[in-house]
Chains A and B, each alone.
Chain A
């Protein structure tokens, strides 16, 4: 009997609900923390970022038009999918971050719990961030949180799954769509999670993942005028200044690493605008 041929996996991008190779045809090698070969990963280019932004833009209106309750269900379903593949996630977290199996399992649990937490917030955020304002006249005056639109995220470099989950699902929960540049050296856990969105009823384009060299593609994302918000959590200070400066040309909201606190509402609050509407008080 012949030996079975090994089935190796190609790690690809996630753009508009599909898993393409990089438009440039390039890939790069990712190793475990210990330095052994882990995977060949697509090395995204500027044009992949552009395509991802187009996908995110066209998905945003649809995602926001879904009821908040429904968005919560979709995000919760991702937690269900992740739960059933938690061992695979934990294995990748352990290899990528060089952690013990038990530690990795704990981190996966925290990540999944965090997704559930965000799922719960979708239809509650308006009650917390919104308000009914007193005005002098026969009107209701409401302030309601609305999404910024398309949010670009440079995900945390070290925390391959937890950091990714915190940075990505907060803006998605409040109705944004996201283009995320995954951790350059440890992208595989986030790619796995991206694959799970395909079976969690995420509309195409809500989450787009580009893997590759952060230094090469982050400037394109930061300067892209059709991106409304930028999370620079995964970028070191000097480079982050540079990116924030180029983001300023198109007046994006920019979230810096030191402003980040995943256990508060800060992540959910980071990429919302306030829309204030007047409405006559009927008889």
Chain B
């Protein structure tokens, strides 16, 4: 797996300036949390969208594109979250995750497979000793509408079954009605159950209404101990968008510059083409810098994206456009 930082630009590169000493904000009451959130500057929505649109037009030349395609493959969380998931389907997903293109051993494995908790044990047994991780969506995914103890049990069982990473959803209902303390408490509780298991916190940006809310929710998740913040469940109409990811990356940058802690970002939902994926990588590089261009700090939650990445990779090597059915469907 290629984890070497990749340079997508040669000039005007932005990167995070880590503080000499860490200053984790003190949040011991809901009032303090509110004050902290209120102190965050507002997001210039038009500016964020314009900047994302500008970065999306950047052209990548061939060698950079090839490196970026491999990097993107290594960042994929290969996902299947369907009611119709069977152990057989999970098996083929895991096999594909380890060796995305069976004809070419140079194609890196993906970062993880992402499944429902009851299928974690099966995925774990298929993946065996490979480096591909098992991520489980928990806490009453995708709506998050369940009692707290049910959510915690969901997480506990997934961890016990062998999940390396937990993707939790925040309580959007509580967030939107202003009960931010409850949102933070829930994340802290889940984090405690997770222990050393990586925690990704799904903000569901498509339901948060404004970029200001995206920035606030990002901060709450990071204060709660998230290892990753994730855009969407992929189960609502508006999934990951480039401007929303930009706002989250800015929050990650600000958090790192305040606290010294580097939090990862996962974008999920609606990312189907290699072109889209490369645009996200450009935004990552331009917002937080090359230190985030590794599967440890940036992920794509996707299923059909992987085939398009493989197709474009093959196209760059063969010089001709490739049949979509060269690669297995899911």
Give the interface of A toward B (CB within 8 A). 50, 53, 57, 220, 223-226, 246, 249-250
- B275-330 contacts to A (CB < 8 Å): 319-324, 326
Residues of A within 8 A of B324 (CB): 57, 226
Contact B323 A225 (CB under 8 A): yes
Interface residue tally of chain B, by bracket? Answer: under 10
Docked CA distance A250–B326 (Å): 12
| Alpha-carbon separation in the docked complex, A226 to B319 (Å) | 13
Q: Tell me how far the C-beta of B299 lies from the nearest C-beta in chain A, rounded to whole angstroms.
A: 27
CB–CB B321/A50 < 8 A? yes
CA gap between A168 and B324 in the complex, in Å: 24
Closest Cβ neighbor of B326 among chain A residues: A225
How far in angstroms is the closest Cβ of chain B from A247? 10
A246 and B321: CB pair below 8 A?
Answer: no
A residues within 8 A CB of B321?
Answer: 50, 53, 220, 223-226
Task: Report Cα–Cα, A223/B323, bound state, in Å.
Answer: 11
17 A-B contacts (beta carbon < 8 Å): A53-B321, A57-B324, A223-B319, A223-B320, A223-B321, A224-B320, A224-B321, A225-B320, A225-B321, A225-B322, A225-B323, A226-B322, A226-B324, A246-B320, A249-B320, A250-B320, A250-B323
Nearest A residue to B324 via CB reads A226
B56 CB, min distance to chain A CBs, angstroms: 14
Considering the complex, give the chain B residue whose CB is closest to the CB of A246. B320
From residue A262, how far is it (CB to closest CB) to chain B in Å?
Answer: 30
Residues of A near B322 (CB, < 8 A) are 225-226
Report the separation of the CA atoms of residues A223 and B319 in the bound assembly, to the nearest whole angstrom.
Answer: 8
List residues of chain A with CB within 8 A of the CB of B319.
223
Q: Which interface residue of B320, B323, B324 has the most chain A CB atoms within 10 A? A: B320
For residue B320, which residue of chain A has the nearest CB? Answer: A223
Q: How far, in Å, is A84 (CB) from chain B's closest CB? A: 38
Give the distance to chain B from A101, nearest Cβ to Cβ, in Å.
43
How many Å from the CB of A251 to the closest CB on chain B? Answer: 11
Complex Cα–Cα for A234 and B324 (A) = 28
**Chain A proximity of B132: nearest CB distance (Å):** 29
- Closest Cβ of chain A to B65, distance in Å, is 14
9 A-B pairs besides A223-B320, A250-B320 with CB distance below 8 A are: A223-B321, A224-B320, A225-B321, A225-B322, A225-B326, A226-B322, A226-B324, A246-B320, A249-B320
User: In this complex, what residue of B is CB-closest to A228?
Assistant: B323
| CB-CB contacts below 8 Å: B75-134 with A | none
Residue of B nearest to A50 (CB): B321
A209, B319: Cα distance in complex, Å:
23
Write out the residue numbers on chain B whose beta carbons fall within 8 Å of the beta carbon of A220. Answer: 320-321
Q: In the A-B complex, list the 5 residue pairs whose CB atoms are closest, starting with the nearest.
A: A223-B320, A224-B321, A226-B323, A225-B323, A225-B322
